[in-house]
């Protein structure tokens, strides 16, 4: 792999075994990108890499909460691809229910993946990013306003939002664009696997597919930098929620959150 010809562009994707990560991998590979497939589920990303072929993908096991492992994975990927044009920090986990329904160990698990994982990814990628490179962090509509039944998950996505906004400014001087995506509920194994389903999922519905999000990811990766917002609400429903949050007085928006979530 080290001697392979450098592709037109390359993308490193975390959480690539299923859902949004897998859909993004297929989308970018179809457009000629060399794709890095990384996930704790090594068998799944290995199978996807075999499906795409060695000239289009490289797979590896990765726990994003392990900074050293992340740095090594990115370095090995750049050695194979010859460059790093895009990092997609997609890996994430979800816990729902009343705040007290989970203990500190479970919340630490979520925080380590959803926040530390994004920090580790940005740090690991930074030495390899050149002018014109981009970083896209998977955020959430729950980062628009703290969301009942998703409290710690929502807080972790506020972290991602804040980091994205700061790095978007810091790394501008390096010619690197940092953005995030903010979808509402997406039809993925993560959402389908929720055992204590909050009322908001039923009331708002799951209207986005992983392919919808992958399409927005590709737009964020390829659109002219001058036309790229920092935050990308995915889908008309999410865009409407984002606009409502921006225009509605905080007390009224808080009331709408209570109405939607049943709290």
Please state, as a whole number, how many other Cβ atoms lie within 10 Å of the Cβ of residue 35: 30
163: Cα within 13 Å, side-chain hemisphere: 24
- Gap between the Cα atoms of 204 and 184, Å rounded: 9
Is 38 labeled as catalytic in the residue annotation? no
**For the chain, what percentages of helix, strand and coil (3-state, to nearest 5) are there?**
55, 20, 25
**In the block, which residue shows the tokens 């790229």?**
228
Q: Which of 36, 117, 45 is nearest to 78 (CA)?
A: 36
Q: Is 2 exposed, middle or buried (0-12, 13-18, 19+ CB in 10 A)?
A: exposed
Contact between residue 83 and residue 127 where contact means Cβ atoms under 8 Å apart: no
Give the span between the Cα atoms of 26 and 16, in whole angstroms: 10
Say which of 107, 153, 218, 253 is annotated catalytic: 153
User: Taking a C-beta distance cutoff of 8 angstroms, is the pair 77, 35 a contact?
Assistant: no
Q: Which residues are catalytic?
A: 153
């Amino acid at each position: 792999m080290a001697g392979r010809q450098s592709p037109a562009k390359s993308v490193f994707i975390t959480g690539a075994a299923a859902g949004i990560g897998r859909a993004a991998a297929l989308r970018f590979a179809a457009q000629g990108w060399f794709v890095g497939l990384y996930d704790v589920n090594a068998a799944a990303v290995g199978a996807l890499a075999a499906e795409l072929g060695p000239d289009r993908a490289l797979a590896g096991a990765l726990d994003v909460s392990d900074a050293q492992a992340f740095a090594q994975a990115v370095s090995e990927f750049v050695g194979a691809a010859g460059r790093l044009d895009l990092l997609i920090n997609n890996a994430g986990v979800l816990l729902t229910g009343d705040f007290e329904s989970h203990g500190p160990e479970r919340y630490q698990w979520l925080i380590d993946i959803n926040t530390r994982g994004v920090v580790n990814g940005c740090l690991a990628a930074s030495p390899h990013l050149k002018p014109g490179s981009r970083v896209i962090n998977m955020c959430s509509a729950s980062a628009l306003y703290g969301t009942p039944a998703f409290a710690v998950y929502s807080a972790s996505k506020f972290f991602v939002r804040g980091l994205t906004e700061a790095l978007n400014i810091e790394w501008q001087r390096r010619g690197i664009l940092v953005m995030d995506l903010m979808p509402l509920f997406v039809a993925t194994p993560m959402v389908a696997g929720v055992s204590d389903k909050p009322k908001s999922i039923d009331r708002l519905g799951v209207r986005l597919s992983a392919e919808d999000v992958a399409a927005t990811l590709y737009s964020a990766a390829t659109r002219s930098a001058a036309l790229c917002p920092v935050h990308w609400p995915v889908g008309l429903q999410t865009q409407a929620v984002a606009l409502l949050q921006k225009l509605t007085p905080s007390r009224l928006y808080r009331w709408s959150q209570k109405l939607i979530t049943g709290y």
